[in-house]
Amino acid sequence: MLKEYGWLKLFIIDRGMKEKKQIEKSIINLLTEEQKVSSYAVGLGLRFIYIFCGGHPKNLEKIKLKIKKNKLICKIKPEAKSLMDKEVERRLKNFANVSNLNYEIV
């Protein structure tokens, strides 16, 4: 678990910078295949939330995610519907797909 968080930290720091860097294979190889998939899903989820919020933490109050059966349900408050554009929906779809879930926006 600690290895996974270390990888996530590197992923977030490296991907958050303007200059895109390839993550070192030696770090990726510390993870099992299951951990790699899980880390990738967490990364996509974080990216989805960051893009939805536009970097403003207050916008987190306007969205709720829950899993029901095999569906990721994204509930957005009416005043925040404009934050869910096609790019944000694409990120939600990617997050759901990697997590082996369907998705629904409510």
CA separation (Å) from 36 to 24, 96, 104? Answer: 13, 16, 25
Domain 2-105 has CATH 1.10.3210.10: yes
Report how far residue 13's alpha carbon sits from residue 33's, in angstroms, rounded to the nearest whole number: 22
- Tens-level pLDDT at each residue, the chain (106 residues): 445 445 455 555 445 545 556 677 777 788 888 888 888 888 899 999 989 988 888 888 999 999 999 999 999 999 999 999 999 999 999 999 999 999 999 9
Report how far residue 76's alpha carbon sits from residue 62's, in angstroms, rounded to the nearest whole number: 6
Q: Where are the domains of the chain?
A: 2-105
Q: What is the per-residue burial (b if ≥16 Cβ within 10 Å, else e) of 18-27? A: eeeeeeeeee
pTM of the entire structure? 0.71
Say if residues 68 and 24 touch (Cβ distance below 8 Å): no
